[in-house]
A and B are shown apart, each in its own frame.
Chain A
Amino acid sequence: MLANVGFKDASVDRMRQEFVPVANVEVGIHVPQGRQAKSVELVRKGQSASFTMDANYAVLTLPAVHIAEVVHLQLA
């Protein structure tokens, strides 16, 4: 997950990017047919996360993403 919300435009004298957190980002990861999602870890945050299944997608909500998060879905 990349939250590329920096603003950098030399034409308006903004040469530096400023990144702000994005709240409540919903993530859906397609689970291959015949496989089951076992667990989800937010790697950068160092935490496990709960998820629900919606059709073939493992769905979770990230409370806040600042720049990036790596979502690691483990399959059974």
Chain B
Amino acid sequence: MGSYDVKSIGQPPNCKPWAAHITDLEDSDEVRMEGFVDLAGGNMPIYATANRLYYRLGEGSAKPAQEIFGLARRLEPLLKDSILVPYVTIVRTLESLELWRTRRQSWNVAMSEGFLLAMLDERISCDVNPSIELSDEWLNGQKVIALCGASGMSQETATRLASWAGKGGALLATYDSGLYDAQGEVRRDGGALKEVLGVEMKGEPLEGQVDVYYRIKTAHPALAPYGEGAVVMGDARDCHPQLRGRGERSTWREVWKLTTPPAAGFPCNASWVRGALLGRRGSPAVSPLCTQGGIWHSPPGPEWRPNSLGAG
């Protein structure tokens, strides 16, 4: 007996559909857990045939499913037509998923998952929405949008995001977001987000290097306890963007590669912390801003207050 969650016809579910593969082993508490997970995700579980009951195998029971539906019925006035109110929404781009077409690799999925874990650790409400579902109406309801290594990006998506940010939306972007166009080719004009972020991408990430370390240049609450001067082992791939219009944009750039001084042209927003800090997940060191290292944000920028945002 297993559950499969749906929201409503024509709308995507809010979480990954789940179905039991070995239904005769799924029972009682497992059904309860899946059911509550479905409800928590804004979905309504439906249940497959309880074949164990029909064929009198084992000690199967319909009570767990009945409990889920009983609670859903009691809470229907609250659950019906409920909407997610995330503080941050991760936008994954279709073009990143299709980067394989030009034999390139995107870290959009992995970095989004890392960011989501950091949000969970910090109890910051978070949602995920793919770029193909962006609309002006949806954008107008968003506070913060995070692009986590969203490598490929169509001009239409970039324009929408820039327009939304221009009206006060807070846009976070990490790693190589916007570096590639809709065809998976490198943008030679500084990247799709260069105007809104004030960061000009100077080409593709370098090939992997061994033993790469970074030194934090500026203390930030989000990096605690890694203050100024702290050294962490970083990701061996490196983006090399260049700031534009300093003083006009608010940009965090706390990290430098030890072996390559900034004068050599290596300001980086590489995914240094992805490996270094996620390995310490669960400690207070993990913060929403640390999952993929340097994060560029558009003005006016969100006021990050770790541990104080909650689910509001």
B78 contact set on A, CB distance < 8 A:
72
Q: How many residues of B contact A (CB 8 A)?
A: 19
List B residues 1-49 near A (Cβ within 8 Å).
22, 25, 29-30, 32-33, 36-37, 40
State whether A16 touches B311 (Cβ < 8 A). no
User: From residue B206, how far is it (CB to closest CB) to chain A in Å?
Assistant: 36
State whether B33 touches A17 (Cβ < 8 A). yes
Q: Is B53 in contact with chain A by the CB < 8 A criterion? A: no
B309 contact set on A, CB distance < 8 A:
30
State whether B29 touches A19 (Cβ < 8 A). yes
Q: Is B80 in contact with chain A by the CB < 8 A criterion? A: no
A72 contact set on B, CB distance < 8 A:
78
**Total A-B contacts with CB atoms under 8 angstroms apart:** 49
Indicate which residue in A2, A15, A32, A43 contacts B33 across the interface (CB closer than 8 Å). Answer: A2
Indicate which residue in B25, B29, B74, B310 contacts A6 across the interface (CB closer than 8 Å). Answer: B29
State whether A57 touches B36 (Cβ < 8 A). no
Alpha-carbon gap, A56 to B29, bound state (A): 35
State whether A43 touches B40 (Cβ < 8 A). no
User: From residue A7, how far is it (CB to closest CB) to chain B in Å?
Assistant: 12
Q: Is A62 in contact with chain B by the CB < 8 A criterion? A: no
List B residues 44-97 near A (Cβ within 8 Å).
71, 74-75, 78
Q: Is B312 in contact with chain A by the CB < 8 A criterion? A: yes
List A residues 1-30 near B (Cβ within 8 Å).
2, 4, 6, 15-19, 28-30
State whether B30 touches A2 (Cβ < 8 A). no
Chain B residues with CB under 8 Å of chain A are 22, 25, 29-30, 32-33, 36-37, 40, 71, 74-75, 78, 123, 308-312
